[in-house]
Amino acid sequence: MSTTHEITAGFMPLFDSAVLVAAGEMGFAAREGIELKLQRETSWANIRDRIAIGHFDVAHMLGPMPLACSLGLTPLASETIVPFSLGLGGNCVTVSNAVWDGIAAHGASPDLDPARAGQALGALIHERASAGREPLRFAVVHPHSGHNYELRYWLAACGIDPDRDIEIVIVPPPFMADALAAGRIDGYCVGEPWNSAAVAAGTGQIVTVKALLWRNSPEKVIGVRKVWAEENPDALAALLRALHHSARWCQDPANRGDLAALMARPEFLGQPEAIQMPALTGRLQLGGGVEWNVEDFFLPFDKAANFPWKSHALWFYTQMVRWGQLPHTPQNLAIARDCYRPDLYRSALKPLRVALPGANAKVEGALKTATPVGSAGASLVLGPDGFFDGQIFDPDRIDAYVAGQKRA
Amino acid sequence: MLAGSLTILVIDENRIRASIIEAGLRDAGHSQVTVVHDVAGIAKRIAEIEPDVIVIDLENPNRDMLENMFQLSRAVKRPIAMFVDRSDRASIEAAVDAGVSAYVVDGLKKERIKPILDMAISRFNAFSRMARELEEARSELENRKVVDRAKGILMKSRGLSEEAAYALLRKTAMNQNRKIAEIAQSLVTAAGLLDPLGGE
């Protein structure tokens, strides 16, 4: 097929850019008539700035970032929409060996159980506070990130106030493991391979994972400048089809070796192939020689992973409100509701006759097991999608959910 | 008001570029300029300096950390926002194109800041141009060296004069639609393989 669309896409060197990278490098974009120009960036702020001024048409973004842009929470913000999700899960919480020893003494086991690890961390924090020691310092990649919200959700559900009992700072993903080794931070929440990197270096221990805090939960997305999407509907639809085929390829276990080799290249992650594998297999080295198999650790395609659920966007919105990033108003809620665009995803994929969810939102936490759902033609399996503390998020009852949220 | 009454912090890991910016600011009459190359301990430095304007290169991977710090004004006593306001699209584009961004404390007038950003943009562009020219000169020099070595190989192994050796390289390059330096590099590599002792 001849090239009919030229699309420039920004990405950050993280494993969950895989679907976008493979779309360009494995020929999926070319097959849809797209010349996809991939440009690696050094910060989310750069991605935001370059998409705002038109250097990028689309970009690999943190799930809450297009919301923050559309809600005016960041400088140089522009209206950004989300027609495609790049996957579910993929993050871990990693702590220093010293903190691990501390929480192990308070009952944590190397089994990734968020409730028990959180309780033990709470006990360690109180012990340190009574001894007059400085609060522990945790790092996340960005204030408007799934990492920030899931770390805070976990801590708060375990009785730890993330603003009062610990300190949360921002560190770029590739620097996390070094900052932990140097003692500048005591723990962090980040995507792979930056957790496995600390374990491999012998300087960190993985205590829990996103896939257990909120099962099959949203992480990175494709953010699109709204004006560009409106002016280039055919290019966007072609891109979404290319991403769909790429995501299916990335999910296939037969392609793991090729995908790891692709992501290992210096222009993408520039990290050894071996360290990409835990993200693909879900078999994590937790530290201290313990290996653990995590179900649905990172899904680039399965379980409708690419569908931009409005309930995902709205949960991010409730966390922005919870942690004081913006007030809960009907106007803000309306902006958040319009940011993720399942309609664009559905119309682009319709010609492919693949299974698509019929609803735009779901009650998060309602599916206790993997559940087949009947929808347009072929079959589709969703979930489980539970929060570790058993809470339910019903996007039709946002006021009650927001009112019921506590800081700890 | 005197230009020099503004306190300016330049954060740039590239020392040469940072000193070019600093010189530009001093030339423009700003005397309170601090340059920082490493962001370790930056919160403390900002609290000490209390800058009115912060200039950062876009390649700095710590921009997310810095922006978060500016928004949480506990670390920096006064709130700091990105300077380039949305109405001034040309300035925004010029700054991002040049690879620089600037942040200012709330309440400072645009007219006072614009000359600083304009200066930073033009100096960043000048630096990029200089770096590009330097790179071109360096590769030109490398090319000349490899062509000289290839000529030497041809002169020795085929008994050609220097002009004849060069003419042969040029003819081969034209026939293969490649650059003379590429042909010369291939020849040097091949000669090295054929003669492991390295005597050309």
| Tens of pLDDT, residue by residue, chain B (200 residues) | 455 588 999 999 999 999 999 999 999 899 999 999 988 888 888 888 888 889 999 999 999 999 888 876 555 666 676 665 556 778 888 888 899 988 888 777 778 888 888 889 999 998 989 889 998 999 999 999 999 999 999 999 999 999 999 999 999 999 999 999 999 999 999 988 887 665 44
Do the strands A5-11 and A58-62 form a parallel or antiparallel pair, or are they unpaired? parallel
B114 and B149 in a single domain? The answer is no
One domain, residues A303 and A223: yes
pLDDT at position A213 is: 98
Q: Is A287 a member of any domain?
A: no
Are A342 and A228 part of one and the same domain?
yes
Residues in chain B: 200
Q: pLDDT averaged over chain A?
A: 95
* Cβ partners under 8 Å of residue A28, min gap 6: A22, A242, A243, A245, A246, A249
Non-local CB neighbours of A203 within 8 Å, separated by 6+ positions: A96, A97, A177, A180, A181
User: Which of B59, B81, B89 shows the shortest C-beta gap to A75?
Assistant: B81
d(CA B155, CA B159): 5
Give me the residue label for tokens 């924090």: A125
**Per-residue pLDDT reduced to its tens digit, A1-13:** 567 999 999 999 9
A326 and A248 inside one domain: yes
Q: A79 touching B, CB under 8 A?
A: no
Residue at B66 is within a domain: yes
- For tokens 């709205």, name the residue: A314
In a domain, residue A168? The reply is: yes
User: Using an 8 Å Cβ cutoff, are A277 and A257 in contact?
Assistant: no
pLDDT of the residue at B75: 55
Kindly provide the ipTM of the predicted complex, given to two decimals: 0.90
Q: What is the CATH number of the domain that holds B12?
A: 3.40.50
Task: Pick the closest to residue A36 from A66, A68, A62, A58 (CA basis).
Answer: A58
Whole-angstrom distance, CA of residue A404 vs CA of residue A398: 10
Name, in order, each residue with C-beta under 8 angstroms of A347's C-beta and a sequence gap of 6 or more. Answer: A237
* B186 and B119 in a common domain: no
Q: Are residues A381 and A339 in the same domain?
A: no
Percentage of chain A modeled with pLDDT above 90: 90
Q: Which residues of A touch B103 (CB under 8 A)?
A: 75
CA–CA separation, A52 and A78 (whole Å): 5
- Cross-chain Cβ contact A49/B60 below 8 Å: no
Closest CA to A97 of A192, A186, A191: A186
Indicate whether B107 and B148 sit together in one domain: no
**Structural domain contains residue A276:** no
In a domain, B62, yes or no: yes
SS3 A95: strand
B43 touches chain A (CB under 8 A): no
Count structural domains, chain A.
3
Please give the residue of chain A at the shortest CA–CA distance from B102. A75
Q: Is the pLDDT of residue A46 over 90?
A: yes
Could you tell me which residues are beta bridge partners of residue A187?
A95, A138
CA distance B177 to B166: 16
Predicted confidence at residue B88, as pLDDT, reads: 73
Q: Where are the strands (E) in B62-174, listed by range?
A: 80-82, 100-105
Is residue B200 a part of any domain in this protein?
no
Within a domain: A293: no
Tell me if A172 and B93 make a contact (CB, 8 A cut-off): no
Instruction: Compare all CA atoms of chain B with the CA of A41 and give the residue at the minimum distance.
Output: B59
| Pair A103, A153 in one domain | yes
Q: Are residues B120 and B151 in the same domain?
A: no
Query: Which pair of structure tokens corresponds to residue A272?
Result: 């050894």
Amino acid at B47: A
Q: Who among B68, B93, B103 is closest to A53 (CB)?
A: B93
Query: What pLDDT score was predicted for residue B200?
Result: 42
Which phi and psi angles does A298 have, rounded to 5°?
-145, 120
CA distance B4 to B25: 9
Shortest CA distance to A317 belongs to which of A300, A339, A294, A295?
A339
The secondary structure of A67-119 as a DSSP string is HHHHTT-STT---EEEEEE--EE-EEEEEEHHHHHHHHHTT--TT--HHHHHH
Write the single-letter amino acid at A90: G
B75 found inside a domain = yes
Sequence-separated (6 or more) residues with CB below 8 Å from residue A98 = A186
Q: How far is CA A281 from the centre of its chain?
A: 17
CA distance A18 to A243: 10
CA-based nearest residue to A135, from A126, A123, A145, A144: A126
The strand pairing partners of B54, in sequence order, are B9, B103
User: Is residue B127 domain-shared with residue B141, that is, in the same domain?
Assistant: no
Task: Give residue B46's pLDDT.
Answer: 87
Please report residues of A whose CB lies closer than 8 A to that of B75: none
**Final residue of a structural domain among B132, B160, B186:** B132
Q: Which of B132, B148, B181 is the last residue of a domain?
A: B132
The reply to whether residue B67 touches residue A49, judged by beta carbons under 8 angstroms, is: no
Q: Are B39 and B126 contained in the same domain?
A: yes
Q: Mark whether A135 and A239 lie in a shared domain.
A: no
Angle between helices A256-264 and A18-25 (to 10 degrees): 90
Domain end among A195, A213, A231: A213
Q: Chain A contacts of B96, Cβ < 8 Å?
A: 49-50, 53, 55
Q: Is residue B96 domain-shared with residue B68, that is, in the same domain?
A: yes
Shortest distance between the Cα of B63 and any Cα of chain A, in A, equals 6
Residues A43, B86: C-beta atoms closer than 8 Å: no
Same domain, B97 and B142: no
Give the residue, B78 or A269, on which the prediction is more confident.
Answer: A269
- Does a structural domain hold residue B118? yes
Same domain, A104 and A55: no
Q: Which residues pair with B36 in a beta bridge?
A: B11
Range of the domain at A396: 352-404
Interface of A with B in 8-47 (CB under 8 A): 42-46
- Tell whether B115 and B59 lie within a shared domain: yes
Final residue before a domain boundary, out of B132, B150, B185? B132
Q: Residue A225: pLDDT above 70?
A: yes
A303 and A390 within one domain: no
End residue of a domain, out of A189, A213, A237: A213
Task: Please count the structural domains in chain B.
Answer: 2
Secondary structure of residue A161 in the 3-state scheme: coil
Q: Is A282 domain-assigned?
A: no
Domain limit, last residue, from A213, A243, A259: A213
pLDDT of residue B1: 45
Token output for A181: 């080794």
Residues B128 and B141 in one domain: no
Task: Examine the domain organization and report whether B33 and B110 are in the same domain.
Answer: yes
Tell me how close the Cα of B134 comes to any Cα of chain A, in angstroms: 24
Averaged pLDDT for residues A398-404: 97
**Among chain B residues, CA nearest to A49:** B96
- A interface mutation test: which of B64, B70, B96, B113 has the most A CBs within 10 A? B64
pLDDT in tens, A353-393: 988 998 999 999 999 899 888 655 557 899 899 999 999 99
CA distance A337 to A360: 10
Pairwise CB contact (< 8 Å): B89 & A53: yes
pLDDT tens digits, A98-110: 999 999 999 999 9
A225, A345: one domain: yes
What is the CB-side half-sphere exposure of residue A23 using CA atoms within 13 A?
33
Check pLDDT > 50 for residue A309. yes
Q: Does B88 touch chain A (CB under 8 A)?
A: no
How do residues A322-361 score in pLDDT, each as one tens digit? 999 999 999 999 999 999 999 999 999 999 998 899 899 9
Residues A339 and A222 in one domain: yes
Contacts of B65 in chain A (CB under 8 A): 169-172
**Is A183 part of a structural domain of the chain?**
yes
Question: pLDDT at position B79, please?
Answer: 64
Residues in chain B within 8 Å Cβ distance of A141: 64
Residues of chain B with Cβ-Cβ distance to A44 below 8 Å are 64
Binary contact (B61, A143; C-beta < 8 A):
no
Average pLDDT over residues A212-231: 97
* Burial B75-87, CB ≥16 within 10 A → b, else e: bbeeebbbbbeee
Interface of B with A in 91-130 (CB under 8 A): 92-93, 96, 101, 103
Tell me the backbone φ, ψ of residue B33, rounded to 5 degrees: -120, 130
Q: Does residue A285 belong to any structural domain of this protein?
A: no
A185 Cβ contact partners less than 8 Å away, ≥ 6 residues apart: A96, A137, A138, A139, A169, A171, A176, A179
A15: pLDDT strictly greater than 70: yes
Interchain contact A169–B (C-beta under 8 A): yes
Residues A81 and A108 in one domain: no
CATH number at residue B189: 1.10.10.10
Q: Which residue has the higher pLDDT, A141 or B3?
A: A141
How far, in Å, are A174, A257, A302, A335, A398 from residue A216 at the CA level? 24, 24, 10, 24, 21
- B74 at A interface, C-beta within 8 A: no
Give pLDDT, residue A56: 97
Q: Is residue B120 part of a domain?
A: yes
From B45, B33, B31, B34, select the one nearest B2 (Cα to Cα): B31
- For residues A81 and A66, the answer to whether their CB atoms sit within 8 Å is yes
Nearest-CB residue to B63 (from A43, A55, A175): A43
Nearest alpha carbon to residue A384 among A364, A399, A402? A364
Q: In which domain, by residue range, is B49 found? A: 3-132
Q: Determine which helix (DSSP H) or strand (DSSP E) holds A145, and give its type and residue range.
A: none
- Based on the domain organization, do A84 and A228 belong to the same domain? yes
Decide if A385 contacts A364 (C-beta within 8 A). Answer: yes
Answer whether B103's CB lies under 8 Å from B79's CB.
Answer: no
A89: helix, strand or coil:
strand
Looking at the fold, whether B52 and B151 belong to one and the same domain comes out as no
Q: What is the pLDDT of residue A214?
A: 98
Count of helix runs (H) and strand runs (E) in chain A: 18, 16
CA distance A109 to B157: 73
For chain A, the first-to-last Cα distance in angstroms comes to: 56
Residue A291 falls inside a structural domain:
no
Q: CA B182, B183, B184: angle at the middle one, nearest 5? A: 90
A371-374 and A379-382: which strand pairing? antiparallel
Chain B residue numbers with beta carbons less than 8 Å from the beta carbon of A62 are none
Residue A199, amino acid: V
Find the DSSP H helices in A323-384.
330-339, 342-349
- Which one-letter DSSP state was computed for residue A42? S
Listed range (A33-47, A393-407, B49-63) with the worst mean pLDDT: B49-63
B64 touches chain A (CB under 8 A): yes
- Whether A371 has its CB under 8 Å from any CB of chain B: the answer is no
Residue B199 falls within a domain, yes or no?
no
Give the global pTM. Answer: 0.89
The verdict on residue B83 lying in a domain is yes
